[in-house]
Homo-oligomer: A and B are copies of this chain.
Amino acid sequence: MSTRTAKSRSPAAPPETAADAIPGTDAGRLTMADLAARAQVSIITVSRALRDSPSVREDTRRRIQDLAREMGYRFNATARNLRLQRSHTIAVVVDMKPTPERPMSGPFPLDLLGGICQELTTAGYNVLLTTGQSQPAAAVHAADGAILLGQGADDTAVRQLLPIGVPLVVWGAPQPGVDPVFVGSDNHQGGALAAARLVETGRRRLVFLGDTRHRENAERLHGFTETLASAGAVLAALVPCDFTFNAGVAAVQGLLADASGGFDGIFACSDAIALGAMRALTEAKLTVPDDVSVIGYDDTPMAAFHTPALTSVHQNWTEGGVRLAQSVLALINGEHPDSVILPTRLVVRAT
């Protein structure tokens, strides 16, 4: 037979006994060569049979497939990837701030990850997860493509990843320099929706809470002020703050201390900020929404379950994940997908 027939794993014991392949026994993984020897065919025939190649006769194919199942054969993806020069793997780089306190509590990467996994695994790709902490390079190098999930105000991560030369898709707001493909939700629209709602309910002096160094927040502010202006309302204050509850508290406390004309509506860049703001308002004996109306962002469970229930801008993360995945796949296929901007919607509740 083949020259490799003799090279069986257990030289002493008879390798033909099916007992060799007790599932769970890791002793010497089976290879196609083992199957080939057993089935009295060549290795390549086994390879073809297992891939359902039409050039293998029906019964031969079935015989080999059955044999593989019986013997507990496990396919070696590494070998195939080497041979085929592709890893069938997409690196997902989660570039979260190393802030210890509530670094990234939102559903952010979770639902996004869900969407990504769903799409990628059904397409036969693996998802390699890395945090930006260490050098993501190592993992990304080996991948067929990469997805960057960051909330960074800066774009250092993008700059690190781009030169690697792997197809890259980034979650967030498209940048002026159009280099990588972006997928994100429509922050401009989100801001506009919030503004429209606040104006509709009769508010005229509005506050924006969020760090506009984040491109996404800058977009929200843009949509927000644009809509305000066209409705004759004014932006009473813009307070840069983190995405946290405490930042929201502090921001509103500062606002109340500084008696610069007052305000009757707040748009916060996260539900946590919004809840913090409401806490500060309540402590100052102001009621929501009678005295001040509040709108949050992200539509997290805590918005829904809070009393009073928080009105919030909802972004469809799962869909976002799916689109991210589709875009990398497209890039890998040599296509040139456009950046995607997903619509947001306002979930109106009590505030």
Contacts and interface: CB of A to CB of B under 8 A. Distances in A.
A133 B121 contact: yes
A282 to B, nearest CB: 8
10 contacts: A77-B138, A78-B82, A104-B110, A105-B107, A117-B131, A127-B130, A272-B301, A282-B307, A302-B302, A305-B306
In the A-B complex, the 6 residue pairs with the closest CB atoms: A302-B302, A77-B142, A127-B129, A275-B305, A23-B163, A24-B165
Interface string A266-303: 00000010011001001000000000000000001110
Nearest to A303: B302
B142 A76 contact: yes
**Chain A: number of interface residues, binned into ranges:** 35 or more
A44 interface: no
Interface of A: 23-26, 74-79, 81-82, 87, 89, 92, 94, 96, 102-105, 107, 109-110, 113-114, 117-118, 121-122, 126-131, 133-134, 138-139, 141-142, 162-165, 245, 272, 275-276, 279, 282, 300-302, 304-307
Contacts of A307: 279, 282, 306-307
A272 B163 CA distance: 44
Contacts of A142: 76-78
Contacts of A141: 74-75, 77
Nearest to A136: B121
A117 B129 contact: yes
B122 A134 contact: yes
